[in-house]
Amino acid sequence: MGRRSKGSRAAGRVRAVLVTLVALLALAAAAAAALAWVAWRWVDAPLPLAAPTVAYTVAAGSTPRAVAAGWSKSGVDVDPRWLYAWFRLSGDASRIRAGHYEIAQGTTPRRLLEVMVQGLEALERVRLPEGQTLREWRAVLAASPHLVPDSAALDERALMAALDAPGLAAEGRFFPDTYAFPRGTSDLVVLRQAFDAMQRELQAAWDARAEGLPLASADEALILASIVEKETGRDEDRARIAGVFVNRLRIGMRLQTDPTVIYGLGESFDGNLRKRDLLADGPYNTYTRAGLPPTPIAMPSLASLRAAVRPARTRAMYFVARGDGHSVFSETLGEHNRAVDRYQRGLP
């Protein structure tokens, strides 16, 4: 009886130990499950940010720990150890790419990592306006702090060669638009995008041209579009102005448009177009030479491209600025002179 009692007590102690171990394991499992649940919720919960948007540049060769600390210092209000742990546990820590990133309110740790792994860099933007010349555009590009000025040392001939268009005049060959790019992008990349865009838009416009135009090629349409662009900023007047120029081209009448003369003067133009400028012969002086000038004189908008290839049907041969952005159109020189007296000279 004594031996059985002693064995029974030992067995009881073993059972107690086993029960305790099972309980501890259960508690550990529950704690682990709770921790996993918290971690899972945290990974998909919005990160607290110190501002509406937070930006950080991941330098090449940065460790995941340094990246986590960098985001924390930049305004992600969370212990960087949590971020670092998530980067490591995800299995994607080694796939984080260098680049400049920006996140907004509502971004989760999961999304933050996705942005860096996929290289979804924050984009800068530069606006290249219609109606400006290449010289003006190059100044805009040079002033952009996030573009690499690779084109700065290139003259126009070398620039077009770099864009795989050797021998092509650069003026007018780039499409006005707002272009987005990651920081550190070459300005040649932006110019390439603008060049390709103009090629597409010009060809599409030329393919849709009206019949019987006195234009021999898409290049001539581009030249005409650039003149229309400089003559008006009003969409409703573009086709009518194009119609006047087309009428003149059909009969060999000189275009007599000031913007071409101004373009020919280049940087010497001081804002005042004088009579002697109109009389001085040159390739861009449409008062002394018939036909179109040799190249575009500015970057035309899509509206001007379309106006040039589908001009309004009009009998007008003249137009004059009215002073409010619009133009007055006339069929005869007498009507035109009266319009000039009224709107340019202020005569009754």
Strands 185-186, 147-148: pairing kind: parallel
pLDDT at 1: 46
Element (H, E) at 104: strand 99-104
Structure-block tokens of residue 85: 């742990």
3-state secondary structure of 256: coil
Quick one: pLDDT at residue 274? 93
Domains in the chain: boundaries:
53-117, 123-203, 209-343
Which pair of tokens denotes residue 50? Answer: 């110190």
The Cα–Cα gap between 222 and 209 comes to 12
Segment among 1-15, 114-128, 163-177, 316-330 with least mean pLDDT: 1-15
Stretch 119-147: mean pLDDT: 95
Q: What is the mean pLDDT of residues 280-294?
A: 97
Question: Binning pLDDT at 50, 70 and 90, where does residue 345 land?
Answer: confident
Confidence of residue 34 (pLDDT cuts 50, 70, 90): very low
Q: What was the pLDDT predicted at 346?
A: 67
Question: What pLDDT score does 341 carry?
Answer: 87
pLDDT for 224: 98
> Which residues lie below 8 Å from residue 119, measured CB to CB, with a gap of 6+?
97, 99
pLDDT in the model for residue 20: 61
DSSP letter at 182? E
Q: What is the DSSP letter of 180?
A: E
* 61 vs 34, more confident: 61
pLDDT digits (tens, 9 = 90+) for 249-281: 999 999 999 999 999 999 999 989 999 999 999
Both tokens of 174, joined, read 């780039």
Residues of the chain with pLDDT > 90, as a percent, come to: 82
Average pLDDT, the chain: 90
Q: Quickly name the fold that domain 53-117 has.
A: Dna Ligase; domain 1 (3.30.1490)
The pTM is what? 0.80
Q: Over 90: is that where the pLDDT of 9 sits?
A: no
Residues in contact with 202: Cβ distance below 8 Å, sequence separation at least 6, in sequence order: 218, 221, 222, 305
